[in-house]
Chain A
């Protein structure tokens, strides 16, 4: 790869595995150094925490995509969707300062909400626009 080229991974699985590996290492280093409260003393395994954090990230990305898509205005009329927007996009900074047990509960909630959202979008008549996208289908394969 020449120095002027940007890193453009084309294989989504490879990118996911690389993210997992790097996140796992970071979590280990933080835990070993007795780092911030989001990891130190957590009873949940490192690999599980990494998975939950990935689910939270995927959920935020999905919400942003929906908001920015032509279906965004329609979606924002839904009360549940507005709740998700508030919880994960507008107040997500609060989650960083939570106590370990609270943060685990928050992340597990994010994983549950992601599964519900993917399920609803899959059944939604207008969801066909999302199902055409490979990245959306990848999320469905991973979490449903």
Chain B
């Protein structure tokens, strides 16, 4: 193993296991760590992954997946499925230990036929696949390294001058959704490890509330869900899509296109210039947004909340996972600060008070020294217009 200095910036870590010589000989040009099968004692692995931006597992058969616990689960994984085995074998060997634990920020490099089967079973998205032309380990490592470099180098033309939500998010989504989708949906200036850590915290808060929103509704009745600001559709993966009709709406055409590729069984629509949702009244059982409202000025927030309330059925839920804590506003900031009390007042006003507070949860991200996020869930009051 190459020397590990704790003050090194985040860098990719390649686990080459029994084939470390092949990977070392490939002469990867960047600042990365290559681990062999001698480097997998828990303390060694933990130390090696401390500053890892991503962990590329090239030799899955010798990698101890059970060692990835605690903060190490924030490290995004890229798994190179071993060549020469069929999908059934791979799922039997790696299903429980690795494949079933992958999240939206983890990716897989696999041959076409294996990918198709594995994707279907585990619900992976097209954006989670890394195309590899040559499955020899040295060449594959070089291809993965080049793909990671290309993603981080992709420039988003975010424009000059003061922040305007519509222009900014359209430009950012269109530029990044195809080539660097994970940067498009979270913090564009942070690593995918940072973004995966945030995603995991949000998922932990949202999961139980999604389940609570479905409640005791019978499985035979489809659960209609709307996400406002759906991006590339990452939260669709949180639902059982066999029992859910998931609809997403976004302002960026690039995002909508990527979301459609990721979840072909779901519906994704482009939101026009006006914040008017293109759906009829009382069409959804759950309408939610994740870190969308705080990027918009108050009039847009008001309009979106009002629209979300309109398209939600009485008894259905509206959920907002937002930042309710931030510093002062500046011309270059992409956040319009609004405290939870101010947001609740806006929510009551935009819905004419026809909501009941169901859940409140503060959310603290691991890299922050203060509590920033909050999840609010309300149910819509009223009697359905149609039965």
Contact = CB atoms under 8 A, between A and B. Distances in A.
Given A28-B360, A46-B344, A17 B339 contact: yes
Interface residues of B, number: 22
Interface in B239-288: none
Given A20-B339, A25-B361, A47 B344 contact: yes
B371 A21 contact: yes
A14 B340 contact: no
Contact of A22 (B344, B357, B371): B371
Given A22-B371, A25-B361, A28-B357, A17 B324 contact: yes
A124 interface: no
Interface in A116-133: none
B173 interface: no
Contacts, number: 60
B345 interface: yes
Given A13-B327, A21-B325, A46-B357, A7 B369 contact: yes
Nearest to A29: B360
B364 to A, nearest CB: 10
B24 interface: no
B370 A47 contact: no
B374 interface: yes
Q: Is the interface of A mostly helix, strand, loop or mixed?
A: helix
Given A13-B327, A14-B325, A47-B345, A21 B340 contact: yes
Given A14-B325, A47-B344, A21 B357 contact: no
Contacts of B325: 14, 17-18, 21
A27 B327 CA distance: 24
A25 B327 contact: no
Given A7-B369, A18-B371, A25 B339 contact: no
B312 to A, nearest CB: 21
Interface in B161-200: none
A29 B337 CA distance: 25
B120 interface: no
B326 interface: yes
Contacts of A7: 369-370
A21 B327 contact: no
Given A18-B371, A20-B339, A20-B341, A11 B324 contact: no
Contacts of A17: 324-326, 337, 339-340
A20 to B, nearest CB: 5
B369 A21 contact: no
Interface in A5-21: 7, 9, 11, 13-14, 16-18, 20-21
A24 interface: yes
Most buried by B among A17, A24, A51: A17
Contacts of A47: 340-341, 344-345
A94 B374 CA distance: 32
A21 B324 contact: yes
A36 to B, nearest CB: 18
B337 A20 contact: no
A47 B361 CA distance: 14
Contact of A25 (B337, B360, B369): B360
B67 interface: no
Contacts of B360: 24-25, 28-29
A1 interface: yes
A16 B324 CA distance: 11
B362 A21 contact: yes
B352 to A, nearest CB: 14
B325 to A, nearest CB: 4
Nearest to B369: A1
B328 interface: yes
Given A7-B369, A20-B341, A46-B344, A25 B328 contact: no
Contacts of B362: 21-22, 25
Given A14-B370, A20-B340, 9 more contacts: A11-B328, A14-B325, A14-B326, A18-B370, A20-B324, A24-B360, A46-B344, A46-B357, A47-B341
20 contacts: A1-B369, A7-B369, A9-B370, A11-B327, A14-B326, A16-B339, A17-B325, A17-B340, A18-B372, A20-B341, A21-B374, A22-B371, A24-B374, A25-B360, A28-B357, A28-B360, A46-B344, A46-B357, A47-B345, A50-B341
Enumerate the 7 nearest inter-chain pairs by beta-carbon distance, A residue then B residue, closest first.
A28-B360, A47-B341, A17-B325, A17-B339, A47-B344, A1-B369, A18-B325
